[in-house]
Amino acid sequence: MVIAQDLMARDLIQRDVSLRTFNTFGVEARAALFARIGSLRDLQQVLVDPRVIDAPRLVLGGGSNILFTRNFDGCVLKVDIPGLQREDHGAFSLVSVGAGENWHAIVERLVDDDVPGLENLALIPGSVGAAPIQNIGAYGVELAERFHSLQTWSIDSGLLQTLNSEDCRFGYRDSVFKHEPGLRLIVSVTFALPRDWNPVTGYVDVENELRRRQITKPKPRDVFDAVVAIRKRKLPDPALIGNAGSFFKNPVVSRQQRTELIERHPSLVSYDIGGGRYKLAAGWLIDACGMKGAVRGRAAVFERQALVLVNLGGATGAEVLALAREVQDVVRVRFGIELEPEPRIV
């Protein structure tokens, strides 16, 4: 009897599970079915389960870039695939990491193991598998610049594929995966980290923080510590205040649009991104509308960074979404600019 039980596959599927602890906004929503995926074998087992076969599916990593506004009447696949392997390859260290690993823990471990290159991306909440989906970026570095390839499981065809950078079509907070949610599950990500390391310290906040610490020749750990300190000062810790980082993307406008805006609003913050295009600081636009710190019920615009919406405690996804719509409306009326949400809204 004991042997028979051992031979039987574990039932990986749970019913009616709260997703509150699986999203960094900390909003309540329930999944009709929920499965933790620790390996490809788990995934194969779950996808052929009769309860799941025709059900809608939602792949969840660290839950740090999603806003649930309703219950999910299908199966949530929570990716927990572990692992880290490293191989030196010419001028690069190739580091393959399981999609379920925590992003920040991996960045810190690589810095400590003298395999730097991701330190500017320290303290970004979420999992390794979610990082390519929105091509995470901060303080002068984007994931795409340190990317080698990734493995995905095509949920429909059941095939394991390796995708390179071109296949992933990375853009600003964008990739092919954002346009086809639910079709693939990222299994692992391989980074190409240059062995000849050079610090990226051009971003003004990083420059200032290193100067404050009187560091002129920063080591990887110095950059890591500086980025952690800046983020801790500016951004709310999701363990304490629910949030999903920047709620909106920084909008991109033409040179002419920017010139017209600057004539009316001389202190507008913008960055030249080449090709006659300019990125505007959405945080500045929201701030200029007087929305920084605005509280609506249990949702708010974060008081130290207007680009971040927060759950003050017990907010529903719908409350957060209503606040996001209000922010979009006031920015549209004042500046004629449409803000695009960054997180996935379900």
Size of the site for ligand EPU (CB under 6 A): 18
Count of helix runs (H) and strand runs (E) in the chain? 9, 20
Q: Which of residues 316-345 bind ligand EPU (CB under 6 A)?
A: 342
CA atoms within 13 A on the CB side of 44: 7
**Among 306, 324, 330, 346, interactor with ligand EPU by CB under 6 A:** 306
Instruction: Note whether 192 and 147 are within 8 A (CB).
Output: yes
Q: Which of residues 111-130 bind ligand EPU (CB under 6 A)?
A: none
Which tokens belong to 161? 């594929």
Task: For residue 330, give the DSSP letter.
Answer: H
Please enumerate in sequence order all residues whose Cβ is within 8 A of that of 206, keeping only pairs 6 or more positions apart, or say none.
120, 139, 140, 200, 223, 226, 227, 230
- In the complex with ligand EPU, the residue whose CB is nearer, 199 or 245, is 245
**Among 103, 170, 284, 335, interactor with ligand EPU by CB under 6 A:** 284
> Where is 318: in which H helix or E strand?
helix 317-335
* Rounded Cα–Cα distance for residues 271 and 252 (Å): 9
Query: Which residue has the closest beta carbon to ligand EPU?
Result: 245
> Where is 335: in which H helix or E strand?
helix 317-335
305 binds ligand EPU (CB under 6 A): yes
Residue located via tokens 């079915």: 33
**Among 97, 138, 309, 321, interactor with ligand EPU by CB under 6 A:** 138
**Among 229, 281, 312, 337, interactor with ligand EPU by CB under 6 A:** 281
CB of 298 to ligand EPU, least distance (A): 20
- Mark residues 214-243: x for contact with ligand EPU by CB under 6 A, - for none: --------------------xx--------
191 binds ligand EPU (CB under 6 A): no
Q: Which stretch binds ligand EPU (CB under 6 A): 72-80, 111-119, 252-260, 301-309?
A: 301-309
Contacts of the segment 115-119: beta carbons below 8 A, 24+ positions apart: 115/86, 115/193, 116/193, 116/197, 116/220, 116/223, 117/93, 117/146, 117/191, 117/193, 117/194, 117/197, 118/146, 118/191, 118/193, 119/220, 119/221, 119/223, 119/224, 119/227
- In the complex with ligand EPU, the residue whose CB is nearer, 245 or 317, is 245
**Among 61, 100, 116, 245, interactor with ligand EPU by CB under 6 A:** 245
- In the complex with ligand EPU, the residue whose CB is nearer, 34 or 170, is 170
CB of 224 to ligand EPU, least distance (A): 14
CB of 139 to ligand EPU, least distance (A): 5
145 binds ligand EPU (CB under 6 A): no
- In the complex with ligand EPU, the residue whose CB is nearer, 116 or 236, is 236
292 binds ligand EPU (CB under 6 A): yes
Task: For residue 139, give the DSSP letter.
Answer: T
What value does the CA radius of gyration of the chain take, rounded to a whole number of Å? 21
* Rounded Cα–Cα distance for residues 51 and 175 (Å): 30
* Rounded Cα–Cα distance for residues 80 and 36 (Å): 6
- In the complex with ligand EPU, the residue whose CB is nearer, 24 or 96, is 24
Catalytic residues: 173, 246, 342
**Residues contributing to the site for ligand EPU (CB under 6 A):** 138-139, 234-235, 245-246, 249-250, 269, 281, 283-284, 287, 292, 305-307, 342
